[in-house]
Amino acid sequence: MRYLNLMAMLFSVGTACAGTLVEKHSYITPNVLSEACMPVPDDDVLSVDGRTLSMSNASEAELTDFMRRVADIKQISDVRKIESQKYPEKYVMKFTHPLDYKHPEKGYFTQRIFVGHVGFDRPTVVVTEGYGGEREMNPRSEEEISQLLNANMVFVEYRYFQESMPEPCNWDYLTVESSLKDLHEVVTALKQLYTRKWLSTGISKGGQTCMFYRAYFPDDVDVSVPYVAPLNKALVDGRHESFLTAKVGNRMEREAVRDYQIEVLKRRASMEPMLSAYCKEKNFVFNEGVSISEVLDMCVLEYSYALWQWGQDVHTIPDLKSSDEVIFKHLVEVSDPSYFRPDPYFLSFFVQAARELGYYGYDTQSLKPWLRISEKNAKNYLHRMMLPAELDTIKFNGDLYKHTVKFLKKNDPKMIYIYGENDPWSSSGVLTWLDFSKKQNMKLYVDPNGSHRARINTLPATQRNECIRLLKQWMETDN
């Protein structure tokens, strides 16, 4: 729903242990790096130069060619083969990085990466994931472009998410630039194995990461494909509100959405007790000072964004004469109140949104007669509702936005941007200001009536075939 890529965010956070060695979160000081950054091998783990290469019930003779080759990369450890229905071989492993690249004496952490291995003679797709990678443990998980190109797939979990969370957690080291250096280190290391062309791609926040990666390390990959990637210029960007009130869909659809929002607010006397009971049942805990009345207002404000983001049919809006139960059920199906609380699973994202990525605001004017939340609190919702009190002082820095805009205007790398026409995130995407007609290599494809789920395979046939042909041409592959 509102997080930049809900489908990418399966909840699985490792449990940290005390001390230098941790089972899933490694925070390692330099003086113990050489011997302490890896778990102690067990009977099913093969050790190479003090690092663990794991494969259940494997013997030395049964090590795959990939496992033998990857053993030469010193930053990689704990390699395990996992099941996959989409790649001939698939592995999960840990990659050791400095917490702070400018000051490596601050310590190290391990980042989870996945490799879908097709062949050393094939091109490679690096997925610049914006969140955690637990979904890659699913044998059915696949990545669109690697399947289209029959390419190797390298999936890099973002620092401070799931099994790539340093322990103890110091938010000072969660910066976009550090995450891009993580990608640079992973790609540079794996180019020792995969010497053909490289392509980076990501969806939503991962699409942002893909775009930033190309702007900061333009020569790391040959091609970049960011999907549905916003580029916000401020904590409250300011472009999403007018998109939802005046541009998305048609006038009748926008009016139907607004009429439903008004109806919910008119039924406040019934809606608030139902919302309170719902939150109590789900064990939702909100920040101190946030009332259930404000939560209801925010759910209503968020409703239009969430509905259009995920491409829900406006015709699913219930008749305004429906019962309170029907009206309420639809509201929480589209705009669940869990969004407006400091959720530990997504705290890393909220920190980044407040610090560098920016976010969106709401049009309160059209609903002002029925709202109870103050204009100030509605505008400051991310800090007030999503961040714990100790992080409320984070200030937004626009340098990332400025650097990326400057790079994209002055350069013409081989990049394909994919957006959904009705996706609110498109209103802060590069398609709103970058003149693609003046670019030879940079291409734009917009899925008509598409949402945040826009992909190559959702494009109209002509655009889809053109996009695939271009990718194969750039990546020098015919199959």
Taking 3-state DSSP, the helix, strand and coil percentages for the chain, each rounded to the nearest 5, stand at 45, 15, 40
User: What phi, psi does 429 have (nearest 5°)?
Assistant: -85, 170
Q: Return all residues near 391 (Cβ < 8 A) that are at least 6 apart.
A: 171, 351, 354
What are the structural domains, with CATH classification, of the chain? Answer: 6-227 (3.40.50), 240-391 (no CATH)
C-alpha closest to that of 97 among 20, 182, 220:
182
Alpha helices in 335-460 (DSSP H): 347-352, 375-379, 381, 399-410
Tell me, what's the pLDDT at 392? 85
Tell me, what's the pLDDT at 34? 32
Percent above pLDDT 90 for the chain: 84
- Which of 43-52, 233-242, 371-380 has the lowest average pLDDT? 43-52
Tell me, what's the pLDDT at 10? 34
Tell me, what's the pLDDT at 57? 41
Residue 49: band (very low, low, confident or very high) from pLDDT cuts 50, 70, 90: low
- Which of 47-61, 338-352, 441-455 has the lowest average pLDDT? 47-61
Residue 52: band (very low, low, confident or very high) from pLDDT cuts 50, 70, 90: low
Please, are residues 154 and 113 in contact by the beta-carbon 8 Å criterion? yes
**Separation between Cα atoms, residue 336 and residue 306, nearest integer Å:** 10
Q: What is the DSSP letter of 192?
A: T
Tell me, what's the pLDDT at 24? 33
Residue 55 pLDDT more than 60?
Answer: no
Tell me, what's the pLDDT at 2? 56
Residue 356 pLDDT more than 90?
Answer: yes
Q: What is the DSSP letter of 247?
A: I
- Segment 143-161 shows an average pLDDT of 97
**Separation between Cα atoms, residue 246 and residue 240, nearest integer Å:** 10
Residue 7 pLDDT more than 60?
Answer: no
Residue 386 pLDDT more than 90?
Answer: yes
If one counts every other C-beta atom within 10 angstroms of the C-beta of residue 62, the result is 11
Percent above pLDDT 70 for the chain: 87
Residue 11 pLDDT more than 50?
Answer: no
Residue 240 pLDDT more than 80?
Answer: yes
Q: What is the DSSP letter of 38?
A: S
Cα 300 to Cα 70, 237, 366: the distances in Å are: 51, 20, 12
